[in-house]
Amino acid sequence: MTTPEFRTVPEAILHWATVSPDAPAALSPGLPALDYGSLWRVTRQIAAVLAEAGVAPGERIALFIPQSRDAEVVNTAVSAMAAPVPLNPAAPPAALRLLGNRLGPAIAIATRETEAAAAALDCPVLLLDPGWLIPGASPAIDPAPRSPEDPAIILTTSGTTGEPRLIPRTHGQLAVSTAAWMERLEFTRDNLGLIAAPPYHAMGTVFFRHVLAGSAALIHPAADMHTVLSSIRETPPTWILGVPSWYAALMAADDAPLPRLRMLMSGSAPMPASLAETLSRRFDAPMIFDYGLSEAPCLALSDPHDEPGAEPRYLPLLPNTVRIAGPDGAPRSPGEEGELVIGGPIVFPGSIGATVPERDPDGWYRTGDLGVLDPEGRFRVTGRLKHLINRGGEMISPLEIERVLLAHPAVADAAAIGAPHPVLGEDIIALVVLHPGQEVSRRDLRRWLLDRLAPTKVPRELDLRERLPLLPSGKLDRRALQAEAVARAAQSRD
């Protein structure tokens, strides 16, 4: 059966509720399956709740619902009438107040456990009523029509480049991206995906993709990896999407046999070659890497036939949507490094509250990522402009160093940063986390690097750590490491 091309998320919910109301939409351990007929009825009930609360179509709704099936269902249902903004209940109250001031939400929806966090926003708070999620248990109305240009969700960035931004993902973005993604992967309705990320994480929004595809998602609320693995064995998904740090914790939980999957997907941060190989071997499935941003959901995918530990080479989902540009914006030739610039219908319209246009007059958006395009139209990500280390005038990408370290079989995680230096301006420090039970000397790691990098790119210091600081998104917290390096340099001068 060919999947219809939808313009909005509620169009998809209504379609699947009409043609296959008994098909499962959301599964979760210990809960009955929610089918598409029930998902539409719940969507209509939540539309009635919002209308009763005085919410106008398109207004912003802050969501403080812990990771769960309820969180995904409410988030999706709200998108049929308004613009949901999932927020992390564990965020500091001051940060939530700042976001609330910028968002101006009409209301917040919270649970008893997250009510205090929602109170940080200057808006009414509705407590989630379990009756909303029981089809037929409360009044219902049809939600007001949405357009492809309307936000289906608003994400907050992780703040790696400064103050967090408010990024709308429109219904049209999600619909076009999902259709192209399904065609590339030959994805059909009979797939079951595991969701273990909260909706405020960009990867947690993958439930929208399932709804647009008419497939089912296994939504897992537990952070305990033993519980997640038990669930995978009891109800095997066909595919899993996760960040490298989540996958690493999953593989460390036990070494018992796992079911064969159709595919594994990852993004957000580089993955150690040894981890990619372990995942591919244990699940007997290809590892596929996606290139996406908060501003552009899943713009490109790596080749599933690539070796699991190979550096990803991404092929855009749509033609003429990625190019490599120089500082002046002029296109670079294949093989030349430059900034990744993206365009087309998968790219966002612009941040909420932005004071200057974020896309140029031709619709191109500068990502800040460095990359190289090959003659076949695939590209590699080679670094990030803001993270370049200026070592005596030579601009060095931390990502290049990190990938070499992550290829070492004993290395579980690694980061390279620039530290203040009295002569060079900046010099390189690498921080390395080893796999449990592994031992390797700094001398051996240095030799590994010297065999694979130019001498000027080999870190001056190699610091072994138990763990590296991560942001809630699972990305490396470079700002924390950079602040630590600056403080250490200041102490050494005193």
Crossing angle (nearest 10°) for helices 69-79 and 36-52: 70
Query: For residues 364-403, b (16+ Cβ closer than 10 Å) or e, as one string?
Result: bbebebbbbbeeeebbbbbbbbebbbebeeeebbbbbbbb
Q: Are 405 and 445 in contact (CB under 8 A)?
A: yes
CB 55 within 8 A of CB 143: no
Band of pLDDT at residue 1, cut at 50, 70 and 90: very low
State the amino acid at position 344 in one-letter form.
Answer: G
pLDDT over 60 (residue 103): yes
* Residue 72 clears pLDDT 90, i.e. is over it: yes
pLDDT at position 162, please?
Answer: 53
Strand, helix or coil at 313? coil
Return d(Cα 403, Cα 389) in angstroms, integer: 16
Of the candidates 103, 110, 192, 224, the one whose C-alpha atom is nearest the C-alpha of residue 153 is 103
What is the CB-side half-sphere exposure of residue 127 using CA atoms within 13 A? 8
| % residues pLDDT > 70 (the chain) | 97
Q: What is the mean pLDDT of residues 56-73?
A: 94
- Kindly report, residue by residue over 462-484, the tens digit of the pLDDT: 999 999 998 776 778 888 888 88
pLDDT value of residue 419: 87
pLDDT at 386: 83
Q: Which pairing describes strands 239-242 and 192-195: parallel, antiparallel, or unpaired?
A: parallel
Q: Please give the Cα distance from 35 to 215 (Å, whole number).
A: 10
Question: In terms of Cα–Cα distance, which of 178, 49, 197 is closest to 124?
Answer: 49
239 touches 262 (CB < 8 A): yes
Coil, strand or helix at 54: coil
The candidate with the shortest Cα–Cα distance to 132, out of 94, 195, 77, is 77
How far apart CA 68 and CA 139 sit, in angstroms, is 24
Quick one: pLDDT at residue 125?
95
Note whether 49 and 29 are within 8 A (CB).
no
Q: What is the pLDDT of residue 161?
A: 46
The tokens describing 163, both together, are 């103050």
Chain mean position to CA 254:
25
Distant-in-sequence, close-in-space partners of 94: CB < 8 Å, separation ≥ 6: none
39-53 residue pLDDT tens: 999 999 999 999 999
The burial of 137, by beta-carbon neighbours within 10 Å (0-12 exposed, 13-18 middle, 19 or more buried), is given as middle
Q: What is the mean pLDDT of residues 249-272?
A: 91
DSSP letters for 405-434: HHTSTTEEEEEEEEEEETTTEEEEEEEEEE
User: pLDDT for 429-450, tens place per residue?
Assistant: 999 999 998 999 999 999 999 9
- pTM for the full predicted model: 0.85
Q: Which of 367, 370, 383 is closest to 418 using CA atoms?
A: 383
Q: For CA atoms 456, 459, 461, 462, give the dihedral sign.
A: negative
In tens, the pLDDT along 199-213 reads 888 777 899 999 999
Q: How confident is the model at residue 310 (pLDDT cuts 50, 70, 90)?
A: confident
Positions of E strands within 54-160: 60-64, 83-86, 107-110, 125-127, 151-156
**Tens digit of pLDDT for each residue in 141-197?**
999 999 999 999 999 875 544 567 899 999 999 999 999 999 999 999 999 999 988
Name the pLDDT band for 4 (thresholds 50, 70, 90).
Answer: low
Please report which confidence band the pLDDT of residue 132 belongs to, taking 50, 70 and 90 as the band edges: confident
pLDDT at residue 160, rounded to an integer:
45
Residue 387 — very low, low, confident or very high, per pLDDT cuts 50/70/90? confident
Go through 450-484 and write b for each residue having 16 or more CB atoms within 10 A of its CB, e for each that does not: eebbeeebbbeebeeeeebebbebbbbbbeebbee
| CA neighbours closer than 13 Å in the CB half-sphere of residue 202 | 26
Please provide the average confidence, as pLDDT, over all residues in the chain: 90
Task: Spell out the domains of the chain, with CATH numbers in brackets.
Answer: 9-221 (3.40.50.12780), 388-493 (3.30.300.30)
How confident is residue 69, by pLDDT bands cut at 50, 70 and 90?
A: very high
